[in-house]
Structure 1
Amino acid sequence: MSNQLFALGSRLLRPVIIAIVILALVQTLLFITLTRSGGGSLINDISAKLSVENGKVSEQLEMSSQRVQGQIAEMSDKVSAELSASLQQKLEQEKNSTVKLLESSLLDTSRNMAVILAAVSPQAIWDRDIPQLTRYVQMAHESEHVVFAGYYDLYGKRMTRYMNRKSPLVKELMEEAKKTTGKKTLDGVIKAAGNHDRIIIIRQPISPSGSPIGEFVLGISRDQVISGTQAMETGFNTLIDNSIQAVSSSISSASGDTVSDLKNRLQGIQQNNDVARLSVEQRIEEASDDMVQQMTIVSLISALILIVVLIVVLSVRILSRVNILTRALTDLSEGEADLTQRISIRGQDEITLMAEKINHFVQAIQVIVGEVQSVSHHTSSVVETMREGNLKASEATGRQQGAVSEASAAVAYIADSVAEESESVSKTLESVEKIREETGQSAAISREVRHNIEDLVTNVEATSDVINALASQSDQIGDVLDMIKAIAEQTNLLALNAAIEAARAGESGRGFAVVADEVRMLASKTQQSTEDIEEKIDQLQSGASQAVSAINEASRVAKESISGIRQSDERLASVNKAIEDLHAMFSEITRMTQDQASQAGSMTQALEQIFSESHVTAESVTDAARTSQQLEQLVQDLGQKVDRFKV
């Protein structure tokens, strides 16, 4: 009880206790007043807000229902438009792809047909077998895509005239040909077809042995490709319309069900909100009354308990320990600098921790003061030793400066010798460099000559191949001449038979006899010209054989020259390698001499640096001597100040 009375009389705790009592009373009164006045207004506000919010929720739900209906309709239109655009785009892509594929397939098939019909026709063209060529053309017309087909000789003259005159497209082309050329021939039809995009014209050269003898012309109609594309487009449009109608119907049905279900749910939500609002108002009012009564009692009891507890705690746990700490610090400060004293407080609170920290601080000060006393006594002897060491260091620095001067002169002489040696080696290296360049140029010239001769051999061999091909073609010309001679002999026999028949006919066959004589004379001239051409071809073949022999001999000599040049290149390469090794050796010698010169220069700089540093060292020794004197004086002052502490 005495401790509680002491706490009330404490100047430190008295204002705190009075303030706590006043605050507890004021808090209790304010809490009761605010709770009673705020409870009713809170109930009214909550009821009003619930009513307002319920109305707003109803309005928002109704607006949401209308927005959902509008968005569903908008979504239906948007989905239909996007579906239509997407399907139209896909249709266009598929149509283009299909047209390209069909046209490519049609073109490849037609080209293969043209190649086959051109490959089987050379014998019929040589024999002038027009019926066989006509059968080939009729075979081509068996394809429903073929509009026209025909064979032309080497001079562009038509060899077949067959056309499918029942075809409407051929009739149209024939009418156009008649308007432009006046004739309904195959030539006019081909020319008129060149102005139609719906017709593809394929021209296949006929070259059985590499030499052209004619041309096969084939006209292909694109009508089936176009009609197939139009049918596919019509089918796609029907599919798009059906898809859009199905999607719109599905969306409309789903939106109707969704809107109906949404309205039912909105009505249920409004009814639940009304019931919940009334229930919440009643519960809040009842809970508010109970809470006011309970909080009033609790506030009064807790305020009283808080005041009693604070008085007890402050008096027992704080003031008694603060008094102990104050007396201990007073004894420590008013003693004779006795650092062996400690504060004795037991517990685990902040005041006990403060006392422990003060004890630790005093202990640390005690250790520091003891160490300072020991160090001050030891430092005096160390300063004396430093004075003697500075004197010896000053003498050693003088001797070091003399030795560095002698070493610097010796290194300078070595650097001059190395520089002369490096200059001599550099001149030798320049000579070796010139020799290496000359050798490299010789090797380059040799390689260029060898490459030129190799190109010459290649050209000679190509020329030999050309001459051999010319000889082969001359043999083919000989075969053609044999055929022409046979035709001339047959023509001569036919003319002779015609003359005999004309003689039998008498006067009526005289004109025919004149024609037979002219034909016989033409056959004789043709046979004579054929023999002259055959003689020229024999001379050409003989000259070609001689040229091939001469070219082969030149090729052999050139290859032997290439072999000799390669041996020369190998020897030059060996010489160049030896020169490269010599150049590398002299380069290494030059580098080593330069390194020696650089190292000698570095040694000279290092010795000069050492000589300069020795002066700095001497000055530092002098400064150290002065510093040791000042340190000795400071140690004496420090010893006098720390000796008054008791440790």
Structure 2
Amino acid sequence: MSALKNMSIKAKVFLLVLVPSIMFLIYVVYSNIQVGSLIKTSDEQSLRYKQILIAKDINFINTSITLTAMDIIIDRADGSVSYERVQEINDLFLKFNSYKASFIKSADTEVEKRSANEIVRALEALEPVVKVKLKKMVESNVTEEAWNALDNEIDSISGGIGENINTVILSINEELQEAAKNAVLKQEALSMSSLYSVIALFAMVITLGVLISGDIMNSLNKMLSVTKDLAEGEGDLTQRVYVESKDEIRLVAQNINGFIKKVQISIRETKELSSENAAISEELSATVRVIQKRAIEQEKVVGTAVKTSQDIKNITAASVETSEHMRDEMRNANTALEETKYKVLNLTQIINKNAESEAGLATQLNQLSQDIDQVKEVLNIISDIADQTNLLALNAAIEAARAGEHGRGFAVVADEVRKLAERTQKTLSEISTTIGVVVQSVNDSSQGMNQNVEEYHAMALIASSVEEQIIAAAQVMENSSLEVNSALQTTIKIGQDSETIMSQIGTINNISKENGLSVTEIHKASEHLHRLTESLQNKLNGFKTSK
């Protein structure tokens, strides 16, 4: 019994199942052994019956061989043995040979083995007598005494075989009777052992069930006594459940004891907290009155904040309108600057193009001046030639004068040449004068064009400077526009935030009003809490938490 107290419920249930299972297993094993023995006995009986059948078949073969031999002796007057009888004798001995090995093997006692061997030897001895000797005697016409001797020999062998077969059958029948008797005894023993095993199994199950259930119910009754006192008694939380067993019920009892202890501690602490709650509820009432007063002041402050937020909203709206106007003006100015920038850029391109054209013309005039100088050089050469021609004409005229009448024609030619040279010199002088005037005009035009080119370059530089200044001004204007736009967005955001703040302040105002109502409710609730605390204290005093 003490061992059961140290076992868990799971182990007890396992024991309740294990012990009958072991006993049942032992019974099954024993029954299988007994049944196996009965089956073995039955198999042996079957072999014995088969052995009897073989013995009877051999006896029938022996009788058939003897009768056939007698028929042959009776019919010896024919002088030969018929084929049918020879075949019949051969078939009988073949059948005997098929039984011979199993017949000898099935003999298990000394008597059976000796008799079986004698039967086999007798039939083996009878075979040459019937097959050979009898046939020869029929064919040889022997004396009557010889036939009588043969007949006696066959009868002697056949009679001995019959006696030995009867001995074998008698031995087998004795074994069968003994086996049947043993089988009946084993069956009776198996039936009794089955009955005793079932009785022992039920007795063991009932005994273990009573012991285990008694141990469990003893522990449960102790737990029931304590829990009933807790539920229906005076609420004594100092009681504990004591269970001697070491099973799961003891763990449950320990858990119940732990729970009772927690409840005991909780109620003790709740009593202390209830006293504190009473004091706190008084302080809470005073605090609520102070909060109510501050809530009224907060409502006034919130009203002032709402008015201030409205003023900020109006100022912000005006700032937004001004900023939008400035943004539009700056966008227009920026557009005008962009148009001016493009016009100045076009003007710069035109000036640069004109400067390039003037520079090209100046270059061409310089080239023309150089070409005219070359023409002057050619004219100088022609003038030199005219001077030399004039000199030659004078020399020719002098020589013609010296020649007299013969040189008169030559003098005329020389005079014409001289006149031509003089006209040439005069024309060259006029051309030179004209070329000088042209060169002077070309030089003056070239200088004027070079001056114009310089002025165009100066204008281009000024235009480029103006373009850069316009671009810088446009960039400044664009940056200013972005800043104004950013300021506008910021102002709009401020306006939106102001509206949000106003909304939140309105929410705070509503919350303040609701807080005022809530404070009143809290004041009522604190008074109700005080009354509940007193009621709870009275109920907790009904529990015994200390001895």
Shorter-chain TM band: 0.3 to 0.5
Return the structure number with greater relative CO, CA threshold 8 A, min gap 6. 2
Higher-Rg member (1/2): 2
- Structure with greater helix share of residues: 2
TM (norm. structure 2) is 0.41
State the TM-score, normalized to the length of structure 1: 0.36
